[in-house]
Amino acid sequence: MPKGLNSTNTRGINSLHIFSKEALALNKRSDPLQGDFPEVIEEYLEYGCMKCIAFNRRGTLLAAGCNDGSCIIWDFETRGIAKELRDNECSSSVLSICWSKYGHRILVSAADKSLTLWDVMNGVRITRIVLQQTPIQARLHPGSTTPSVCLVCPLSCAPMIVDLNTGNTTSFKISIPDICSGGPTPPSRSKSSDANTSYTPTAACFNKYGDLVYVGNSKGEILIFDYKDSEVRALVPISGGSVVKNIVFSRNGQYLLTNSNDRIIRIYENLLPLKDGVGALDDLRESLNDLNGVEKLKAVGSKCLSLFREFQDSITKVHWKAPCFSGDGEWVVGGSASKGEHKIYIWDRAGHLVKILEGPKEALIDLAWHPIHPIVVSVSLAGIVYIWAKDYTENWSAFAPDFKELEENEEYVEREDEFDLIPETEKVKVSDINEDEEVDIETVEKDAAFSDSDLSQEELCFLPATPSRDPPEHQDKRGWT
């Protein structure tokens, strides 16, 4: 297939119903078609070799990072390529992509240790910073319309705040002894089976408005930091004490998800207010003045997060890849990290496994849930993006109650004046619509899901199409084409 084209051919790939006992029991007592979650592969996108994906805030644009360092932006409505961002200085694989709040900026981290900030509309590189460590994940500050700082999770050292204007970095102290002593932050380490020391990347994320940073370390702890002064404010131990591989908030900021090396996805309820979380933490610390050190941090942490649910496959004991929430926070999705299979598990928030989607015989490396619609997008090891959607059944009677389905063709006998321009049996109703009034096709209507917007900057939802000129046709000597 030519590059840049997409197809509705699903290559014979179908979704698979759940095989576990828990899921079979669930299917018996509920209709899975009533669930607002994807079921089948609707389409796939193919261009180069894509490695990671990210939706903009409204889900109208999908950014994909490729193994050659480029970033492809797809118009998710038309499923066509809207723009390609390519930096001549970067030819290494893209590791992560992050949109700014209003979609005007994209931050790209690559395997050559670079961070690149792009102007999406103009396709211009704003800045490029090269770090000392490989940035596995980079996230722009969510509370700023034009963010100048980002949170970076390097391969072999603690998470850090990077100033994109100056290149200055501030690392978080992720080890409890160093937090108590005020010493430097060592790399997070774990022992491999051959007794050689290897480095464990540390997961981190902003909360909804970016005033707090949540870090999951290699000891199975969640540390809560003040973003501005990088001071730890609370500590939440995770049962099992396994390495935290992923940590992410739900869209509304009310739930926190962690993915640990013990193959369990945990959901925590956020007990802090969505705004001014730092102030709430200060009040908690003052109310616990009789405690000190780690005990005080744990006491504060117990009032910040409360364990809500745990998800795991008790039969296959698989590790999880790229777990996240649905746009409305009602569903939790996680990909199987097993090689050679493309499986996506979907749970409801009550903890029931409701669906397993099975794709091609290729490993899953990234996935994302659409911010608004019941659509999941996944990336295979081959670099192809698969779009999973609901399997809708046409029911015309739902739109027209008098619609009747016919079992066989019937000849319809029309009235003599049924299709006349001016029917004699009925008077033509005069339209009260002003046909000369200009129709606004540019303004995007306000959505209740984005009511927290301060509207200080216009949101970038679509990119204008740039038509390509046809190649000139060959002319003969007489000037004829």
Kindly give the confidence (pLDDT) of every residue in the chain, 481 residues in length, as a single tens digit, with 9 standing for 90 and above. Answer: 434 433 333 333 333 333 333 333 333 333 444 578 999 999 999 999 999 999 999 999 999 999 999 999 999 999 999 999 999 999 999 999 999 999 999 999 999 999 999 999 999 999 999 999 999 999 999 988 889 999 999 998 999 999 999 999 999 988 776 566 555 554 444 433 333 334 467 899 999 999 999 999 999 999 999 999 999 999 999 998 999 999 999 999 999 999 999 999 999 999 999 999 999 999 999 999 899 999 999 999 999 999 999 999 988 899 999 999 999 999 999 999 999 899 999 999 899 999 999 999 999 999 999 999 999 999 999 999 999 999 887 777 777 777 777 788 888 888 887 777 765 555 555 666 777 788 887 776 666 656 555 555 788 998 987 666 776 765 554 444 4
The reported pLDDT for the residue numbered 402 is: 78
State the pLDDT at residue 19. Answer: 31
What pLDDT does residue 417 have? 76
Query: DSSP code of 112?
Result: T
pLDDT the model gives residue 160: 96
Looking at residue 370, what is its pLDDT? 97
pLDDT of residue 353: 95
What pLDDT is recorded for position 477?
Answer: 47
Q: Give the C-alpha separation, 97 to 104, whole Å.
A: 13
* Bridge partners, residue 353, by sequence: 347
For 103-141, b where at least 16 C-beta lie within 10 A, e where not — what string?
bbbbbbbbbbbbbbbbebeeeebbebbebebbbbbbbbb
Q: Which of 158, 186, 179, 175 is nearest to 292 (CA)?
A: 179
Structure tokens at 474: 């060959």
Whole-structure pTM over 0.85, yes or no?
Answer: no
Say how far apart CA 331 and CA 337 lie, in whole Å: 19
Confidence at residue 13, expressed as pLDDT on a 0 to 100 scale = 35
CA distance 419 to 426: 12
Reported for 120-124, long-range contacts at CB under 8 A and 24+ positions apart, including other chains, are: 120/73, 120/83, 120/85, 120/460, 120/463, 121/460, 121/463, 123/83, 123/84, 123/85
335, two tokens: 């990909």
Q: Which residues contact 341 (CB under 8 A, 6 or more apart)?
A: 358, 361, 363, 364
Backbone torsion region of residue 281, taken as left when φ is above 0, otherwise alpha when ψ lies between -120 and 50, otherwise beta:
alpha
Instruction: Give the pLDDT of residue 299.
Output: 97
Residues for the chain: how many in total?
481
Show the tokens assigned to 119. Answer: 């102007």
